[in-house]
Every structure is written in structure tokens, then in C-alpha cells.
């Protein structure tokens, strides 16, 4: 092999590689990546070159052909050669255009119709058969170029295989039948309950994928319009955008017999021991009987368990009575059985769960705890937790009081309750919304020295009740020790006590003040109490000094009273030291014998307590041993109250109902036994509300709102003194139970309204809470935890976070894939300072709700929704129940634009041109007869 040969081979190889590389490059450049397209518009039509780069072929080909013709050896005249090259260039250009894939928009009126057939559980077999007959009719009537596709749908859609030229309608099967066959199960398997649903919009979405390009799109939906998922109307909008004209046909088979339990409702608030009604919404397609069994938990509902219902056609509202005995979650299940004609068994069962709050707690503070058992046991029988305590055990902190829903303070003297405790009671009522009942007795109201106290301020009654006009006044003598030992605060407090007495007395009462040391001095001679200022001036002038000589002072007082005319005559003796006892006992007896009373007050530890107690016993009064002088004013006013008010009215009477109150419902007050007495008080102005009154119109039971809570005054007692006959009355427990229940603290925490529902379109549980504070403010920035428990009775719990979506609004939205009843609870908390410089979350509010997802909505037995179907059809330009299929298949002047590839035309034209080119070469068209002159070369 010589060098030239080698060079030639190498060159050849190089050329082959180059050609291959060029081919590969061309392939990727022109074929694989078509590159950008070129589009233009002409005469209302859009033209587009999909692979415009292929036009380069023509551009490269033309010079090549021209160049070759210049080197041609063919025996053709020049004109013919020129024509030939033009034809060949034309041929290649046409092919290049074909390869460049010129396309233009074209219009057509061919129609493709997709039939969507509802084969869901709610559709009877006969209706599906009707749909198939309709499809057969459509096949018979379809135009030649028309296409028909069929989809069946229930929860999910399926395409029914069908040839383009089929002449018979395909079989329509229920999906559960198909699935069973797919799973190779026997036909007697149970129904696919959980999957029962109708989703028309998914079926439509599947249909969009069945329309070939270049066909007008039509859809015919056979359905009863009951959709459980998705939204046909929203989908119709999209169908319209997609160019699908929808026709809807409702199934026209008569509704078969059906009884469906649509809803079972429990009141929002169910309380332990309180009867309530459950409502059942039952739909019956025709009048018939059914047996209803209501279960509370596992057991048949006690009050109203099994019943035969006479259902009328349409909606029935059936009520069941029930009562919850134990707090906690209660699930009710209602079953309908023994129904003559019923299509679905699935919808005859419904469960609902309610959270019943625990027994309310009552704190019962009784001054005389030995007698506390009557009310305590009555309230316990009324499903309350009762905590009986002595007055000193009354909590003085809100934290402790917060545990109780209601507070009863009964027959307790004011001095047994400290100011802190009283303040705690006030803010318990005002701020925590607690309920408070102040009950009377010997130590109640004025008798207990409650005048001018915090407790009086929050009660709806006043304790300074006016005496009746015809009653004579009180004459009172205060005998105050001003011996040397009284110097200082003792005397000052004694003077203050005397002044307070003057204040407490009514205008027509009489008062004398005697200060004594070794001898008595009448500081104030027997004077009408209306001259208070003068009396108090005189009292202020009392000076300490000297020894202690009681007898003469007491006698002086006794003498003054003897000559004074008054209904009640009373002496208060205050001393702080020992004194000669001579004659005091006798004088005391004398005083009592004259119808006067004597109360003694011993101040400090040095007093002869025995003597003083003796004297007061003999004198028909009381003895007070006071160690702290600051107690004196309280003791004096209490004494004054006790005496001057004659506040205890010990008469037999039957309380009269003045104003109706909820808690009196069901209690026959007319049959209530007599009460044996009460403490006289006076109503405060409205909004204080008098509910019961005595025969002379004095309040027995009154109430009003204090802040968030209720404050009630019961001026009689609650035990075996005045209310002794009530204890035997059957209404006793009910009366107090209902009273407490109505006025007790309603919520432990602020409760916000929760709305929870199952979104029909998505099956999601949507819950929202509106957190709006009392002052019209939105509660923002709370951390909201959402707890869902269920389906009952399973205690499966899930915790989710709610999201704040707007001022004061918290929402959650998640798929609920189980059936049954669910309890919902939300806890809203807020970051607060934990006191150690850190932040902790404190719960500020809560919210409760429940939701039931009883069974697939498919079984709700909803009436066919023709309106939705009509609207959906209208919006796409179709209509409900079209008259025959002419209308459906009729393009109605509508055309559809599709892309028409033109390359075939170019290839066809190229073939024609090629034949012409061949003709041009095979036939001599020019200088046929002409003899050509010898060429120059030949001549040469």
C-alpha cells in the first residue's frame, strides 16, 4: 500500500467520522430537540412551524443542486436543466417544510361525548339499567364521526372499556362488585361501607383526559345528584373553561322505602343529674314504623330506652329523655330496627358523645357545724360534692376558693370571718364568677354583726332595716369604764364604739352614755339618737382617770331607763378591771325583772370574767370578752343591732314567690311548709331581685349579679331551727339543688365558642374558635392546642395545633378518616411570667365541642339535588334532562379548534413534483429537432 492509498483511506475514515458526527449533531439539533417554534397568524388562522430549523435543509440543498447541475454530464438542454433543478429544489423545499412541521389551526365539529354514570350505593339497580338503556340510545343515534366514552363513578371513577365503533352499550357495574371480583371474593361479601361515597367532580376530572384533540367535548351525567365529596358546581366552572358542555340527567326511579337516622343531638350543656332531651332527626321516605333503641354507653337508656316510632313521610324529630348520673364522657347510640322497607341498614345507627362535667363542688361554711348535715346531705343527693367547714376554715385565698362552684355562708357571726376571708369571698364572686349564698340564723345578717361589712356590700339586701312606724324605739344606756387603766387606745376605742352605737341607732331611739370611775358621770343624758353629732361630741370629751366602781354607774343607768318609755331597754357595760362585786348580781336581776337587758363587755385580761358573765346571764344579755380594744366598735354595733333591730322575726309564715326564677321550675312553692323565722332585712334597689318574701313583704330570698357571679341572700336559715319543717318537705333538696345549680360558677375558665363541622366537599373536620374577650377585644397570640378523642368508645386521642387565622380566630382543618362520634376540646394558653424571670404557658381559656361523622354521607338518603345539577349544566351551556341525544350530539354551530399537521400535504406535493422532475429528465422538451452544432472542442 502506497502512501497515497493510506492517505486516501485516512481521509475516507475522517470523512465518515465527520459525516457521522455531523449526522449526530444534526439529529440532536433538528430531531431530538426541536428548538423554538415559529408562529404567525394569517387569515384568522394560526400557523406554526414546530421544527423550523429543518428548513435549513432546503437552504443547504438548493446550492448543492445548482452546483451539481453546473457539473452535469447529462444530455439535457439548458432550459430543461434549469427547470429540472428548480423542480428538485422545490421537491426538497417541500420535504423541508414537511420536516419543519408546519401546522395550522383548523376547526372541526366532531363531538366526543363522555357518559358519566353514578353507580354509587344511593342509586338503585333499576336506575343504572335505565342509564345503560340511555347510553344504548345514544350509540344508536350518534353521528358517524362521533365518539362515545363511558365512566362509572361512586367514590372513585372508572373508565368503562369501550371500542370506538362499538354498537352496544357496555355493561355498567357497581364498583363494589368490580372490586370484589378483583379481589376474587364471593358476591355474598359485605358491602363496602366505608368507601360508599359519590364524587362527581373526580369523575369529571377523569373525563377531561378522555377527550381526544379535535373533538367537541360533551358530558352527560346520570346521577341522583347526591354528592358526598367534591363540589360539582365548582367543577362545572372548570369544565366550562375546559370547553366541556355538560348535560345532567337525574334518575327518575321512585324513591324506595328508606329510613335514615340523620342526626342525634345532645344539648350543649348536660349536667349530672339533670334530665334533658336528645333529639333524633329521622328521615323516612314513606310513613312507616320503626323500633328505636337508645343506649347510654353500653346500657339501654334508663328513662326512655326502647320505643316504637310512628314515622311520617319526611323529616321526623323524635325526642328521648335521658339523664346522666356520672360525670365524664357519655356516648349515646341510637339504633333503628324492625323497619318494613329500608334500603340501607348503614344509616340506621348513630352515635353521639357529650362531655358531662363532673359534680359541682359546694363549700358550705356553717357557724353551727353540728347542724350542717341537713343541707349537706340534701345537696349531696342532688349530685353535688359538698365540703362542710367551720367559719375559721373559710379559705382566705382565691386559689383555694377557685376549686368550688358555689359557696354557702350560713349562720356565722361576722367576727368569725376575717376581713381577708371576706375580701376573698367578694373577689371569688366578682372576678371568678362564683355563686354565693348568705343564709341567716341567729348569727346571720344584723344578728351576726354583719352590718357595714364587705359581705353586706355584696348582698342584695341591706341589714339596716327600718322598723315599722308603730313600733316604739329602743332606749340604750352605755356604761363605759374610764378608770386610769383605760387610758390610751382602750378608751379611744371605747369612745369609737359608743359613737358607732349612736350611728347605728335609728332616729327615734334613745341613748344615754355614762362614763364611770369611782363615780358615774352622765356624759350623755337620755337623748334621742337623732342628735348624733351632739352625742358624739359629748362622747369625745370623756377623759380617763380614777378607780372602778361599777355598781353606782349601773344603778344610775338602771334609774334612767326606768323612767324612759321604750319598747326595748338595754344596757351595755364596758369595763377593763376588777371592781367590788357588792349588789351587782341583785341589780342585774332587778334589771331583767324590769324588762331590761344587760350586756357586759370585759376588755383585757384583768377583768372578772365570771362576774361579768354572771351579770349578763342574769340580765338577759350577752357577755363579750374582748382582748383587742379595736374589736369594741364591732361588738357594740352588733349589740345595738341585736337589740334595736329586733331583727329576728320569729313568726310562722309561708314564703311568697315575688318574681319567677328558673330554678323554681318544677317546685311547687305553694305547697312549701312554713318557715319559723327569719332575719329582717331590706331589699337593695334594682338590679337586686327579690324572689321570695315574707308575709309582711320582707325579703326571704333575693339575688343579684356581682361582677361575674351571683350573690344570694336567704334570710331564714337552712337547718332545723327556722327551717325545721322544710327539712321534711320533699322539695327541700330540689329547691336547694336547683338554686345552687343555677347560680353556681358556670365555667372554670373562660370558654370560647367552638364551631366544628365536617366539610361536605372534602370530608375534612373544620373547627374554629372565636376568642373574643368581654371587652369586645380579640384574644390574639394564644397557643391553641386541639384535642380530638374518638371515635367513641375508643379513647384514641390526637393532639393537634390550631392556627390563628384572623384576629381572635383559631382554626384547624384536617382529614377525618374515621366514622363515629368525636369529642373535641381546645386549650388556649398564653405565655406569662413565671415569677422567676422565665416564661411559662398558662391556660386562659378552653373550648369544647363534639362532632359526629356517623356513616358515609352516601347513606344520608338525601333527596336528588336537581337544582345543583341544573346550575352545573347551565353554567357550561348544557341543560338538565335534555330531550334526546340529538341535542347532545348537535355541535350547535360550535366548532373546536385543533392543530392540523400539514406535513402530509407537503410530502404529497413533493411526490407529485418529483414525478414532474422525472418527466423533465426522461423527456426532451426543448430543441427536439434542432441539430446541434459541433462543439468547439470537437471542431478543434
Partner 1 sequence: MIFAGLPFATLATIFGAAAAVMVGLYILKLRRRVVAVPFSPLWQKILRDKEATSLFSKLKRLLSLLLQLALLALLVLALGDPRAAATLIKGRNVVVLVDASASMQATDVSPNRLAVAKDEVKRLIRGMGGADRMLIAQMDAAITPMGPMSGDTSELERAVDSVKATDARADWPRALRFATDTLRNVDNGEIVVVSDGNLGEATDSSGPVHLGDVKLSYMPVGKAKDNVAITQFSVRRYPLDKSRYEVMLEVKNTSPDPADVELTLLGDGMLVDLTKLRLKPGERLPRFYPNLSGASRTLEAKLAVVGDTKDALPADDHAYALLPERRRAKVLVVSTGDTYLEAALLLDEYLDVTSATPLEYATKYAQKTNTFDTIVFDAATPAELPRTNALYLDPRGPGSPFKIDKELSEPGFDKIDRKHPIVRFTALDQVNIAHGHSFKLEPGDKVIGASEGGGPILVAGTRGGHKMVAMGFDIRESDLPLRVAWPVLLLNTINFFTDEDASYLSSFRTGDVWRIPVGQGPTQATLKLPGGQEQPVPVHEGRAVFLGQRAGFYDLELPATPDQKPGASGADLGAAGNSVHFAANLLDDTESTIAPQEKLTVDGKEAGAVSAFHVGVRREIWIYLLFIAIAITALEWITYHRRITV
Grid cell locating 588: 342585774
Of residues 907-936, those binding partner 1 (CB under 8 A): 907-908, 910-911, 914-915, 918-919, 921-924, 927-928, 930-935
Among 49, 95, 378, 459, binds partner 1 (CB under 8 A): 95
When the beta carbons of 206 and 381 are compared against partner 1, the nearer one is: 206
**DSSP 8-state class, residue 772:** B
When the beta carbons of 535 and 756 are compared against partner 1, the nearer one is: 756
> How far is residue 65's CA from residue 86's CA, in Å, rounded to a whole number?
9
C-alpha distances in Å from residue 661, one per residue of 332, 397, 406, 434 = 31, 32, 18, 19
In the block, cell 318574701 appears at: 693
When the beta carbons of 283 and 450 are compared against partner 1, the nearer one is: 283
Q: How many residues contact partner 1, by CB under 8 A?
A: 122
Among 41, 181, 798, 904, binds partner 1 (CB under 8 A): 904
CB half-sphere exposure, 718, CA atoms < 13 A: 34
User: Coil, helix or strand for 4?
Assistant: helix
Angle between helices 373-381 and 731-743 (to 10 degrees): 70
> How far is residue 940's CA from residue 925's CA, in Å, rounded to a whole number?
30
Strands 102-108, 896-901: pairing is antiparallel
When the beta carbons of 398 and 772 are compared against partner 1, the nearer one is: 772
Tell me the closest approach of the beta carbon of residue 17 to partner 1, in angstroms.
18
Find residue 335's DSSP bridge partners: 293, 349
> How far is residue 187's CA from residue 92's CA, in Å, rounded to a whole number?
66
Of residues 780-799, those binding partner 1 (CB under 8 A): 780-781
Is 272 buried (19+), middle (13-18) or exposed (0-12) by CB count in 10 A?
A: buried
Tell me the closest approach of the beta carbon of residue 216 to partner 1, in angstroms.
14
The site map against partner 1 for 19-58 (x = CB under 8 A) is ------------xxx----------------x------x-
Give yes or no for residue 262 binding partner 1 (CB under 8 A).
no
When the beta carbons of 10 and 194 are compared against partner 1, the nearer one is: 194
Tell me the closest approach of the beta carbon of residue 327 to partner 1, in angstroms.
21
Among 3, 71, 184, 836, binds partner 1 (CB under 8 A): 71
When the beta carbons of 52 and 577 are compared against partner 1, the nearer one is: 52
Tell me the closest approach of the beta carbon of residue 126 to partner 1, in angstroms.
27
When the beta carbons of 346 and 639 are compared against partner 1, the nearer one is: 346
Give the DSSP H or E segment for 491.
Answer: helix 489-504
Tell me the closest approach of the beta carbon of residue 900 to partner 1, in angstroms.
11
State in Å, rounded, how far the first CA of the chain is from the last one. Answer: 41
Of residues 510-539, those binding partner 1 (CB under 8 A): none
Grid cell locating 780: 390574639
Q: Residue 183's Cα: distance from chain center in Å?
A: 43
Strands laid side by side in the 764-770 sheet: 753-758, 764-770, 809-815, 803-806
Closest CA to 303 of 335, 281, 273: 273
When the beta carbons of 365 and 910 are compared against partner 1, the nearer one is: 910
When the beta carbons of 444 and 791 are compared against partner 1, the nearer one is: 791
The site map against partner 1 for 275-304 (x = CB under 8 A) is --x---------------------------
When the beta carbons of 473 and 763 are compared against partner 1, the nearer one is: 763
Of residues 590-609, those binding partner 1 (CB under 8 A): none
Give yes or no for residue 938 binding partner 1 (CB under 8 A).
yes
Tell me the closest approach of the beta carbon of residue 104 to partner 1, in angstroms.
13
When the beta carbons of 36 and 545 are compared against partner 1, the nearer one is: 36
C-alpha distances in Å from residue 415, one per residue of 451, 645, 681 = 11, 19, 19
The site map against partner 1 for 730-769 (x = CB under 8 A) is ------------x----------x-x-----xxxx-----
When the beta carbons of 317 and 834 are compared against partner 1, the nearer one is: 317
When the beta carbons of 73 and 299 are compared against partner 1, the nearer one is: 73
Among 108, 205, 427, 521, binds partner 1 (CB under 8 A): 205
When the beta carbons of 248 and 485 are compared against partner 1, the nearer one is: 248
Of residues 206-245, those binding partner 1 (CB under 8 A): 206, 208-213, 229, 231, 233-238, 240-242
C-alpha distances in Å from residue 809, one per residue of 148, 560, 832, 847 = 50, 76, 20, 13
- Looking at 200-208, 366-374, 423-431, 554-562, which segment touches partner 1 (CB under 8 A)? 200-208
Strands 474-481, 510-516: pairing is parallel
Tell me the closest approach of the beta carbon of residue 177 to partner 1, in angstroms.
15
Tell me the closest approach of the beta carbon of residue 560 to partner 1, in angstroms.
53
> How far is residue 224's CA from residue 331's CA, in Å, rounded to a whole number?
34
The site map against partner 1 for 134-163 (x = CB under 8 A) is ---------------------xxxxx-x--
The site map against partner 1 for 316-345 (x = CB under 8 A) is -x----------------------------
- Looking at 127-135, 409-417, 605-613, 815-823, which segment touches partner 1 (CB under 8 A)? 815-823
Tell me the closest approach of the beta carbon of residue 303 to partner 1, in angstroms.
14
Give yes or no for residue 819 binding partner 1 (CB under 8 A).
no
Residue count (the chain): 940
Tell me the closest approach of the beta carbon of residue 135 to partner 1, in angstroms.
19
When the beta carbons of 295 and 921 are compared against partner 1, the nearer one is: 921
Grid cell locating 93: 423545499
Find residue 437's DSSP bridge partners: 408, 712
When the beta carbons of 781 and 893 are compared against partner 1, the nearer one is: 781
Strands 568-575, 520-528: pairing is unpaired
Among 145, 817, 881, 887, binds partner 1 (CB under 8 A): 817
When the beta carbons of 210 and 398 are compared against partner 1, the nearer one is: 210
Find residue 648's DSSP bridge partners: 679
Find out whether 330 and 312 touch, Cβ atoms under 8 Å.
no
Closest CA to 404 of 863, 748, 649: 748
Q: Which residues are within 8 A (CB) of 439 and not within 5 positions of it... i.e. 6 or more apart? A: 408, 409, 410, 411, 714, 716, 717, 718
> How far is residue 461's CA from residue 459's CA, in Å, rounded to a whole number?
5
Peptide bond into 791 cis (omega under 30): yes
When the beta carbons of 126 and 303 are compared against partner 1, the nearer one is: 303
Report the sign of the C-alpha dihedral through residues 718, 720, 721, 726, in that order.
Answer: positive
User: Coil, helix or strand for 152?
Assistant: strand
User: Coil, helix or strand for 581?
Assistant: coil
Give the DSSP H or E segment for 914.
Answer: helix 903-922
- For residue 275, count other CB atoms closer than 10 A to its CB: 12
Tell me the closest approach of the beta carbon of residue 663 to partner 1, in angstroms.
10
Grid cell locating 641: 343591732
Of residues 445-464, those binding partner 1 (CB under 8 A): none
DSSP state letters, 528-568: ETT-HHHHHHHHHT----S---HHHHHHHHHHHHHTS--SE
The site map against partner 1 for 658-697 (x = CB under 8 A) is -xxxx--x--------------------------------
The site map against partner 1 for 820-859 (x = CB under 8 A) is ----------------------------------------
Q: Which residues are within 8 A (CB) of 834 and not within 5 positions of it... i.e. 6 or more apart? A: 840
Amino acid at each position: 500500500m502506497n502512501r497515497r492509498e493510506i492517505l486516501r483511506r485516512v481521509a475516507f475514515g475522517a470523512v465518515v467520522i465527520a459525516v457521522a458526527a455531523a449526522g449526530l449533531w444534526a439529529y440532536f439539533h433538528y430531531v431530538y430537540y426541536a428548538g423554538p417554534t415559529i408562529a404567525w397568524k394569517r387569515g384568522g388562522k394560526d400557523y406554526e412551524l414546530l421544527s423550523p430549523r429543518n428548513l435549513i435543509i432546503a437552504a443547504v440543498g438548493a446550492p448543492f443542486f445548482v452546483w451539481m447541475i453546473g457539473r452535469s454530464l447529462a444530455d439535457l438542454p439548458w432550459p430543461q436543466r434549469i427547470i429540472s433543478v428548480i423542480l428538485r429544489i422545490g421537491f426538497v423545499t417541500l420535504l423541508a417544510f414537511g420536516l419543519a412541521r408546519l401546522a395550522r389551526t383548523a376547526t372541526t365539529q366532531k363531538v366526543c361525548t363522555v357518559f358519566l354514570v353514578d353507580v354509587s350505593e344511593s342509586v338503585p339497580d333499576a336506575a343504572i339499567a335505565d342509564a345503560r338503556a340511555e347510553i344504548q340510545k345514544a350509540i344508536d343515534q350518534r353521528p358517524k364521526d362521533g365518539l362515545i366514552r363511558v365512566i362509572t363513578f361512586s367514590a372513585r371513577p372508572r373508565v368503562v372499556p369501550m371500542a370506538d365503533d362499538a354498537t352496544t352499550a357496555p355493561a355498567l357495574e357497581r364498583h363494589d362488585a368490580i372490586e370484589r371480583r378483583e379481589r376474587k371474593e364471593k358476591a355474598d361479601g359485605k358491602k363496602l361501607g366505608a368507601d360508599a361515597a359519590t364524587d362527581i367532580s373526580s369523575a369529571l376530572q377523569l373525563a377531561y383526559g378522555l377527550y381526544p384533540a379535535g373533538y367537541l367535548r360533551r358530558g352527560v351525567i346520570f346521577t341522583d345528584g347526591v354528592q358526598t365529596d367534591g363540589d360539582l358546581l365548582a367543577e362545572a366552572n372548570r369544565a366550562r373553561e375546559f370547553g366541556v358542555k355538560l348535560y345532567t340527567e337525574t334518575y327518575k326511579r321512585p324513591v324506595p322505602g328508606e329510613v335514615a337516622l340523620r342526626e342525634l343531638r345532645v344539648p350543649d350543656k348536660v349536667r349530672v343529674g339533670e334530665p334533658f332531651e336528645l333529639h333524633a332527626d329521622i328521615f323516612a321516605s314513606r310513613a312507616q314504623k320503626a323500633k328505636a333503641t337508645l343506649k347510654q354507653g353500653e346500657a339501654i337508656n334508663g328513662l326512655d330506652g326502647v320505643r316504637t316510632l310512628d314515622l311520617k313521610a319526611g323529616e321526623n324529630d323524635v325526642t328521648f329523655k335521658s339523664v346522666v348520673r356520672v360525670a365524664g364522657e357519655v356516648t349515646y347510640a341510637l339504633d333503628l330496627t324492625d323497619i318494613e322497607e329500608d334500603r340501607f341498614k348503614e344509616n340506621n345507627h348513630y352515635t353521639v358523645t357529650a362531655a358531662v362535667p363532673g359534680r359541682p363542688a359546694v363549700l358550705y361554711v356553717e357557724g353551727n357545724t353540728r347542724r350542717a348535715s341537713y343541707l349537706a346531705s340534701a345537696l349531696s343527693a342532688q349530685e353535688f360534692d359538698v365540703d362542710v367547714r367551720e367559719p375559721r376554715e373559710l379559705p382566705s385565698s382565691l386559689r383555694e376558693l377557685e376549686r368550688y362552684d358555689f359557696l354557702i355562708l350560713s349562720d356565722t357571726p361576722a367576727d368569725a370571718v376575717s376581713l381577708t376571708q371576706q375580701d376573698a369571698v367578694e373577689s371569688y364572686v366578682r372576678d371568678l364568677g362564683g355563686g354565693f349564698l348568705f343564709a341567716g340564723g341567729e348569727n346571720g345578717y344584723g344578728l351576726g354583726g354583719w352590718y357595714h361589712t364587705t359581705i353586706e356590700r355584696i348582698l342584695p339586701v341591706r341589714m339596716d332595716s327600718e322598723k315599722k312606724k308603730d313600733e316604739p324605739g329602743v332606749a340604750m344606756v352605755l356604761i363605759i369604764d374610764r378608770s386610769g387603766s383605760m387610758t390610751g387606745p382602750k378608751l379611744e376605742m371605747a369612745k369609737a364604739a359608743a359613737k358607732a352605737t349612736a350611728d347605728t341607732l335609728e332616729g327615734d331611739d334613745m341613748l344615754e352614755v355614762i362614763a364611770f370611775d369611782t363615780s358615774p358621770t352622765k356624759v350623755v343624758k337620755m337623748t334621742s339618737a337623732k342628735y348624733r353629732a351632739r352625742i358624739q361630741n359629748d362622747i369625745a370629751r370623756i377623759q380617763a382617770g380614777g378607780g372602778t366602781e361599777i355598781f353606782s354607774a349601773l344603778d344610775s343607768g338602771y334609774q334612767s331607763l326606768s323612767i324612759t318609755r321604750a319598747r326595748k331597754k338595754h344596757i351595755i357595760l364596758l369595763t377593763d378591771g376588777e371592781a367590788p362585786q357588792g349588789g351587782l348580781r341583785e341589780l342585774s336581776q332587778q334589771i331583767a325583772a324590769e324588762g331590761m337587758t344587760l350586756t357586759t363587755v370585759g376588755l383585757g385580761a384583768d377583768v372578772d370574767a365570771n362576774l361579768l358573765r354572771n351579770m349578763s346571764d342574769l340580765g338577759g344579755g350577752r357577755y363579750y370578752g374582748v382582748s383587742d380594744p379595736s374589736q369594741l366598735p364591732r361588738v357594740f354595733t352588733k349589740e345595738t343591732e341585736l337589740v334595736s333591730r329586733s331583727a329576728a322575726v320569729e313568726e310562722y309564715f309561708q314564703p311568697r314567690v315575688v318574681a319567677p326564677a328558673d330554678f323554681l321550675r318544677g317546685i311547687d312553692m305553694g305547697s312549701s311548709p312554713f318557715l319559723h323565722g327569719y332575719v329582717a332585712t331590706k331589699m337593695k334597689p334594682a338590679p337586686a331581685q327579690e324572689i321570695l318574701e315574707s308575709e309582711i313583704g320582707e325579703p326571704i330570698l333575693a339575688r343579684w349579679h356581682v361582677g361575674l357571679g351571683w350573690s344570694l341572700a336567704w334570710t331564714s336559715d337552712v337547718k332545723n331551727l327556722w327551717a325545721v319543717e322544710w327539712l321534711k318537705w320533699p322539695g327541700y333538696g330540689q329547691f336547694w339543688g336547683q338554686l345552687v345549680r343555677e347560680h353556681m360558677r358556670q365555667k372554670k375558665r373562660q370558654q370560647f365558642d367552638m364551631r366544628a363541622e365536617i366539610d361536605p366537599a372534602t370530608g375534612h373536620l373544620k373547627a374554629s374558635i372565636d376568642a373574643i374577650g368581654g371587652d369586645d377585644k380579640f384574644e390574639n397570640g394564644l397557643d391553641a392546642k386541639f384535642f380530638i378523642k374518638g371515635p367513641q368508645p375508643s379513647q384514641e386521642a390526637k393532639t393537634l395545633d390550631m392556627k390563628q387565622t384572623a384576629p381572635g380566630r383559631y382554626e384547624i382543618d384536617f382529614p377525618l378518616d374515621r366514622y363515629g362520634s368525636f369529642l373535641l376540646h381546645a386549650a388556649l394558653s398564653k405565655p406569662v411570667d413565671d415569677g422567676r424571670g422565665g416564661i411559662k404557658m398558662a391556660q386562659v381559656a378552653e373550648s369544647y365541642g363534639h362532632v359526629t361523622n356517623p356513616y358515609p354521607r352516601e347513606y344520608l338518603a338525601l333527596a336528588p339535588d336537581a337544582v345543583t345539577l341544573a346550575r352545573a349544566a347551565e353554567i357550561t351551556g348544557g341543560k338538565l334532562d335534555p330531550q334526546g341525544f340529538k341535542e347532545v350530539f348537535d355541535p350547535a354551530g360550535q366548532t373546536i379548534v385543533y392543530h392540523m399537521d400539514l406535513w402530509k400535504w407537503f410530502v404529497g406535493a413533493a411526490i407529485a413534483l418529483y414525478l414532474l422532475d422525472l418527466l423533465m429528465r426522461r423527456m426532451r422538451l426543448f430543441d427536439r429537432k434542432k441539430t446541434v452544432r459541433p462543439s468547439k472542442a470537437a471542431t478543434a
